[in-house]
Amino acid sequence: MLPPWLETGIDALGATIDATLRATDWGAVAVGFVQRFLGFLGFFLSFGLLPFFLFYLIKDQPRMMAGFHRRVPAPWRPNVDAMSGS
């Protein structure tokens, strides 16, 4: 047997929870959950792809630098060489 004040408090808490659950827009909750899940998934996939991107970037760096150097106008090449340390 519970004291009357505790019974009243429990009933009020139950009524508040019931009213809150009835007023909740479950579609918005589901969309928010899916958006957050996809955001986390994209975040972790980007970190998973980063090592591969960096590997190929470092591996191809000499070719990229040579291609860049060929595209620099001839009068500018001494300045570019001085800045890049080539």
Task: Answer yes or no: is 66 within a domain.
Answer: yes
Angle formed by the axes of helices 61-71 and 26-59, nearest 10°: 80
The pTM of this model reads 0.48
Question: pLDDT tens, 27-54?
Answer: 999 999 999 999 999 999 998 999 998 9
Residue corresponding to tokens 């800045």: 83
- Give the total number of structural domains in the chain: 1
HSE, side-chain direction, 13 A CA sphere, residue 36: 6
**Residue 1 in this model has a pLDDT that exceeds 90:** no
| Residue at 82 is within a domain | no
Confidence check: pLDDT of 85 > 80: no
| Domain residue limits at 34 | 4-72
Q: Is 80 part of any domain?
A: no
Q: Is 84 a member of any domain? A: no
